Amino acid sequence: MKITKTEKHWLFAVVLFFALYNLPFVPGYGDARGALIHAALTLIPLWICIYVGLRRVFRIYRIRDNRKEG
């Protein structure tokens, strides 16, 4: 099975935002500012990226209906 262009872009975006999640100069979650920075840089874009990517991939690979008639 070949990896499509959409899947490559999706994988790149997810890995990029996961790497941004672990930036050393951003304060930890114990600090309110740090939590907001983490959310703005990583969590929100990562969620958007995952759900948009899932929608595009499922548009390419349709889920088959295996229920039998009768």
Of residues 21 and 70, more confidence is placed in 21
Give residue 34's pLDDT. Answer: 79
**Residue 70 in this model has a pLDDT that exceeds 60:** no
For residue 23, the enclosing domain spans: 5-60
Is residue 55 one of the residues assigned to a domain?
Answer: yes
Contacts made by residues 19-25, CB under 8 angstroms, sequence distance 24+: 21/46
Quote the number of domains for the chain: 1
pLDDT reported for residue 15: 86
Each residue's pLDDT tens digit, 5-62: 878 888 888 888 778 777 777 777 677 887 888 788 777 887 888 888 888 878 877 7
Let me know if residue 68 belongs to a domain: no
Strands (E) across 1-70 are located at none
Q: What's the CA gap between 12 and 18, in Å, rounded?
A: 10
**Is residue 56 situated within a structural domain?**
yes
Q: Is there a domain that residue 29 lies in? A: yes
Quick check: is 70 in a domain?
Answer: no
Contact present, 60 and 1 (Cβ < 8 Å) = no
Residue 28 lies in a domain: yes
Task: Indicate yes or no: pTM above 0.75.
Answer: no
